[in-house]
Protein backbone atom coordinates (compact mmCIF):
# COMPACT_ATOMS: atom_id res chain seq x y z
CA UNK A 1 0.00 0.00 0.00
CA UNK A 2 1.22 3.50 -0.87
CA UNK A 3 0.98 6.12 1.85
CA UNK A 4 0.08 9.54 0.51
CA UNK A 5 2.02 12.40 1.98
CA UNK A 6 0.57 15.88 2.05
CA UNK A 7 2.15 18.06 -0.61
CA UNK A 8 2.97 21.63 0.26
CA UNK A 9 0.25 24.25 0.02
CA UNK A 10 1.66 25.71 -3.16
CA UNK A 11 1.40 22.36 -4.99
CA UNK A 12 -2.11 21.80 -3.62
CA UNK A 13 -3.10 25.25 -4.77
CA UNK A 14 -1.84 24.91 -8.33
CA UNK A 15 -1.84 21.19 -9.07
CA UNK A 16 -3.95 19.41 -6.50
CA UNK A 17 -3.03 15.86 -5.55
CA UNK A 18 -2.82 12.70 -7.64
CA UNK A 19 -4.44 9.52 -6.26
CA UNK A 20 -2.19 6.84 -4.80
CA UNK A 21 -4.01 4.13 -6.72
CA UNK A 22 -4.88 2.16 -3.57
CA UNK A 23 -8.41 1.55 -2.38
CA UNK A 24 -11.77 0.90 -4.00
CA UNK A 25 -13.30 4.21 -2.96
CA UNK A 26 -12.05 7.54 -4.27
CA UNK A 27 -12.48 10.80 -2.43
CA UNK A 28 -12.39 13.57 -5.03
CA UNK A 29 -11.69 16.69 -3.02
CA UNK A 30 -10.68 20.30 -3.12
CA UNK A 31 -6.93 20.74 -2.61
CA UNK A 32 -7.68 22.97 0.36
CA UNK A 33 -8.93 19.87 2.22
CA UNK A 34 -6.04 17.51 1.44
CA UNK A 35 -4.20 17.83 4.74
CA UNK A 36 -7.37 17.34 6.78
CA UNK A 37 -8.59 14.34 4.78
CA UNK A 38 -5.20 12.62 4.82
CA UNK A 39 -5.06 13.15 8.58
CA UNK A 40 -8.52 11.61 9.03
CA UNK A 41 -7.61 8.73 6.72
CA UNK A 42 -4.50 7.96 8.69
CA UNK A 43 -6.09 8.30 12.13
CA UNK A 44 -9.09 6.15 11.21
CA UNK A 45 -7.24 3.60 9.09
CA UNK A 46 -9.42 4.25 6.06
CA UNK A 47 -7.08 2.41 3.73
CA UNK A 48 -9.89 1.50 1.37
CA UNK A 49 -10.37 5.19 0.57
CA UNK A 50 -7.97 6.87 -1.84
CA UNK A 51 -7.71 10.62 -2.19
CA UNK A 52 -7.25 12.86 -5.19
CA UNK A 53 -7.55 16.63 -5.11
CA UNK A 54 -8.31 19.25 -7.69
CA UNK A 55 -6.24 22.44 -7.51
CA UNK A 56 -7.36 24.44 -4.51
CA UNK A 57 -7.20 27.67 -6.48
CA UNK A 58 -10.52 26.68 -8.08
CA UNK A 59 -11.92 28.18 -4.86
CA UNK A 60 -11.52 31.60 -6.46
CA UNK A 61 -12.94 30.41 -9.79
CA UNK A 62 -16.12 28.61 -8.69
CA UNK A 63 -17.48 28.76 -12.23
CA UNK A 64 -14.78 26.20 -13.16
CA UNK A 65 -15.41 23.73 -10.33
CA UNK A 66 -18.35 21.82 -11.80
CA UNK A 67 -16.62 21.01 -15.09
CA UNK A 68 -13.40 20.12 -13.28
CA UNK A 69 -15.29 17.68 -11.06
CA UNK A 70 -17.11 16.21 -14.06
CA UNK A 71 -13.80 15.65 -15.85
CA UNK A 72 -12.19 14.10 -12.79
CA UNK A 73 -15.12 11.73 -12.19
CA UNK A 74 -14.93 10.64 -15.82
CA UNK A 75 -11.18 10.17 -15.57
CA UNK A 76 -11.24 8.02 -12.42
CA UNK A 77 -14.60 6.28 -12.70
CA UNK A 78 -13.30 2.99 -14.10
CA UNK A 79 -10.58 2.62 -11.47
CA UNK A 80 -12.84 2.82 -8.39
CA UNK A 81 -16.05 1.18 -7.20
CA UNK A 82 -17.33 4.44 -5.71
CA UNK A 83 -16.39 8.09 -5.97
CA UNK A 84 -17.37 10.69 -3.37
CA UNK A 85 -17.02 14.39 -4.09
CA UNK A 86 -15.59 16.28 -1.12
CA UNK A 87 -16.84 19.67 -2.14
CA UNK A 88 -19.76 21.63 -0.79
CA UNK A 89 -21.63 23.92 -3.19
CA UNK A 90 -18.59 26.25 -3.09
CA UNK A 91 -20.20 29.06 -5.05
CA UNK A 92 -21.42 26.92 -7.94
CA UNK A 93 -24.99 27.99 -7.36
CA UNK A 94 -26.33 24.44 -7.25
CA UNK A 95 -24.62 23.39 -10.49
CA UNK A 96 -22.21 21.05 -8.72
CA UNK A 97 -25.08 19.35 -6.89
CA UNK A 98 -26.95 18.92 -10.17
CA UNK A 99 -23.84 17.53 -11.86
CA UNK A 100 -23.21 15.08 -9.01
CA UNK A 101 -26.80 13.84 -9.19
CA UNK A 102 -26.43 13.36 -12.92
CA UNK A 103 -23.13 11.54 -12.45
CA UNK A 104 -24.56 9.41 -9.65
CA UNK A 105 -21.98 10.50 -7.09
CA UNK A 106 -22.53 11.91 -3.63
CA UNK A 107 -21.10 15.22 -2.41
CA UNK A 108 -20.80 16.99 0.94
CA UNK A 109 -23.91 18.99 1.79
CA UNK A 110 -23.69 22.68 2.62
CA UNK A 111 -22.62 25.93 1.06
CA UNK A 112 -18.86 25.99 1.75
CA UNK A 113 -16.03 24.17 3.51
CA UNK A 114 -16.18 26.66 6.38
CA UNK A 115 -19.83 25.72 6.88
CA UNK A 116 -19.11 22.01 7.22
CA UNK A 117 -16.09 22.65 9.42
CA UNK A 118 -18.31 24.73 11.67
CA UNK A 119 -21.06 22.10 11.43
CA UNK A 120 -23.95 22.79 9.07
CA UNK A 121 -26.59 23.11 11.77
CA UNK A 122 -24.48 25.46 13.88
CA UNK A 123 -23.46 27.48 10.84
CA UNK A 124 -27.04 27.88 9.71
CA UNK A 125 -28.20 28.95 13.15
CA UNK A 126 -25.51 31.58 13.60
CA UNK A 127 -26.84 33.80 10.83
CA UNK A 128 -23.58 35.75 10.80
CA UNK A 129 -24.19 37.98 7.85
CA UNK A 130 -21.17 40.20 8.44
CA UNK A 131 -18.60 37.45 9.13
CA UNK A 132 -15.74 36.62 6.76
CA UNK A 133 -14.52 33.05 7.34
CA UNK A 134 -11.09 31.53 7.06
CA UNK A 135 -9.99 27.92 7.60
CA UNK A 136 -6.44 26.73 8.35
CA UNK A 137 -5.66 26.43 4.66
CA UNK A 138 -7.06 29.84 3.84
CA UNK A 139 -5.15 31.43 6.72
CA UNK A 140 -1.92 29.95 5.38
CA UNK A 141 -2.76 30.83 1.79
CA UNK A 142 -4.46 34.14 2.46
CA UNK A 143 -2.40 36.11 -0.04
CA UNK A 144 -2.98 33.64 -2.86
CA UNK A 145 -6.69 33.17 -2.18
CA UNK A 146 -7.84 36.56 -0.92
CA UNK A 147 -5.40 39.44 -1.07
CA UNK A 148 -3.88 38.99 -4.53
CA UNK A 149 -6.99 37.82 -6.45
CA UNK A 150 -8.80 40.88 -5.16
CA UNK A 151 -5.92 43.06 -6.33
CA UNK A 152 -5.25 44.38 -2.85
CA UNK A 153 -1.50 43.85 -3.22
CA UNK A 154 -1.59 46.39 -6.04
CA UNK A 155 -4.52 48.54 -4.96
CA UNK A 156 -4.87 48.54 -1.17
CA UNK A 157 -7.28 51.45 -1.46
CA UNK A 158 -9.91 49.00 -2.72
CA UNK A 159 -10.02 47.29 0.68
CA UNK A 160 -13.15 48.97 1.96
CA UNK A 161 -15.00 48.37 -1.29
CA UNK A 162 -14.52 44.66 -0.70
CA UNK A 163 -14.76 44.41 3.07
CA UNK A 164 -16.56 47.59 4.11
CA UNK A 165 -19.78 45.73 4.91
CA UNK A 166 -18.04 42.99 6.91
CA UNK A 167 -17.44 43.33 10.62
CA UNK A 168 -15.55 40.26 11.80
CA UNK A 169 -13.03 37.80 10.48
CA UNK A 170 -13.92 34.42 11.99
CA UNK A 171 -11.08 31.93 11.96
CA UNK A 172 -12.45 28.38 12.13
CA UNK A 173 -9.35 26.40 13.08
CA UNK A 174 -8.87 22.74 12.35
CA UNK A 175 -5.49 22.49 14.06
CA UNK A 176 -4.53 23.93 17.41
CA UNK A 177 -1.69 26.12 16.18
CA UNK A 178 -1.00 29.45 17.93
CA UNK A 179 1.11 30.63 14.98
CA UNK A 180 -1.89 30.28 12.67
CA UNK A 181 -4.07 32.16 15.15
CA UNK A 182 -1.54 35.01 15.13
CA UNK A 183 -1.45 34.97 11.37
CA UNK A 184 -5.25 35.04 11.14
CA UNK A 185 -5.30 37.98 13.53
CA UNK A 186 -2.87 39.79 11.22
CA UNK A 187 -5.16 39.11 8.26
CA UNK A 188 -8.08 40.58 10.20
CA UNK A 189 -6.02 43.68 10.92
CA UNK A 190 -5.14 44.06 7.26
CA UNK A 191 -8.81 43.74 6.31
CA UNK A 192 -9.83 46.25 8.95
CA UNK A 193 -12.05 43.68 10.71
CA UNK A 194 -12.52 42.50 14.26
CA UNK A 195 -11.12 39.03 14.94
CA UNK A 196 -12.70 35.92 16.38
CA UNK A 197 -11.14 32.49 16.70
CA UNK A 198 -13.24 29.33 16.97
CA UNK A 199 -11.77 25.86 17.28
CA UNK A 200 -14.02 23.97 14.90
CA UNK A 201 -11.86 20.92 14.33
CA UNK A 202 -13.02 18.89 11.35
CA UNK A 203 -16.72 19.32 12.10
CA UNK A 204 -19.08 17.72 9.61
CA UNK A 205 -16.19 16.80 7.32
CA UNK A 206 -15.24 14.07 9.78
CA UNK A 207 -18.76 12.76 10.31
CA UNK A 208 -19.49 12.79 6.57
CA UNK A 209 -16.32 10.86 5.77
CA UNK A 210 -16.99 8.44 8.64
CA UNK A 211 -20.38 7.71 7.13
CA UNK A 212 -18.88 7.10 3.71
CA UNK A 213 -16.06 4.97 5.14
CA UNK A 214 -18.53 2.57 6.77
CA UNK A 215 -20.45 1.78 3.59
Q: Which of 78, 102, 129, 176 binds another protein (CB under 8 A)?
A: 129
Three-point CA angle 52, 197, 184, nearest 5°: 70
Asked whether position 92 contacts another protein by CB under 8 A, the answer is: yes
Q: Which of 155, 182, 192, 210 binds another protein (CB under 8 A)?
A: 155
Give the integer Cα–Cα distance in Å for 147 and 190.
Answer: 10
CB of 144 to another protein, least distance (A): 15
Give the integer Cα–Cα distance in Å for 158 and 151.
Answer: 8
Asked whether position 201 contacts another protein by CB under 8 A, the answer is: no
Asked whether position 89 contacts another protein by CB under 8 A, the answer is: yes
CB of 143 to another protein, least distance (A): 14
- String of contacts with another protein for each residue 170-189, x by CB under 8 A: --------------------
Q: Which of 109, 151, 192, 211 binds another protein (CB under 8 A)?
A: 151
Give the integer Cα–Cα distance in Å for 196 and 117.
Answer: 15
Distances (CA, A) of 121 to 64, 116, 145, 204: 28, 9, 26, 9
Amino acid sequence: MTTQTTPDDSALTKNGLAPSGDGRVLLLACGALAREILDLKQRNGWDHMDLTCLPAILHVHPEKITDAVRDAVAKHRDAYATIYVVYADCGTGGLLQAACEELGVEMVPGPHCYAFFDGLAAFGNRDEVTAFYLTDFLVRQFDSFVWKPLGLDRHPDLRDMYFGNYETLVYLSQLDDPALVDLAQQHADRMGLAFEHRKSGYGDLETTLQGWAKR
